[in-house]
Chain A
């Protein structure tokens, strides 16, 4: 069955430090890949997406993600975290059916 795994439920980083959030998927072919961010009490905002082509994708708010086919991964990165990045981050995969399957989310806490 298709699935998405975000191994880290909660991550804490210091402001200014680098960030990497992990995402792995289980599927026979390359799916469409997404990262969303959800601030408390808010809806989900699309950070970036990968459909095909260059495996390093740039998104909004200084985020980027790299697709690694051999590892079935699509990890999200940011070189320097700001306090306003504290939120919950969701990885999602689509399979050209219109449906998205979401991971369980990773909560990011930023220490001053």
Chain B
């Protein structure tokens, strides 16, 4: 299996611009998670989906952030408008109930820099 795929791997944008991060989970996984990693706050769960439905978005920082999962093989995390404090590494992870939804497999991450 190719593992979790994320794109782009790096993104540099200017404050106020829209940013869209993409994720393809492992085939057959029915849970998808979005995390953010910063030096100050470590790894934080932003939102997770089960069978394409958002289950818990309590970690989404504010209305500028939105996430969608239109089908089982694709999810997006959008920031609009972006701010310098959004600079971080964003990870997508996936899991399945058979192995345990907490047994999460991570993608390589998207390194976002907002200038």
Contact = CB atoms under 8 A, between A and B. Distances in A.
Interface of A: 32, 34, 36, 42-46, 49, 51, 90, 94, 96-100, 102-105
Main secondary structure of the interface of B (DSSP, over half): strand
A17 B12 CA distance: 41
A99 B45 contact: yes
A75 B31 CA distance: 28
B55 interface: yes
Nearest to B45: A99
Interface in B89-115: 91, 93, 95, 100-109
B82 interface: no
Contact of A98 (B55, B105, B107, B109): B55
Contact of A43 (B31, B100, B102, B107): B107
Contact of B91 (A43, A98, A99): A43
A43 B104 contact: no
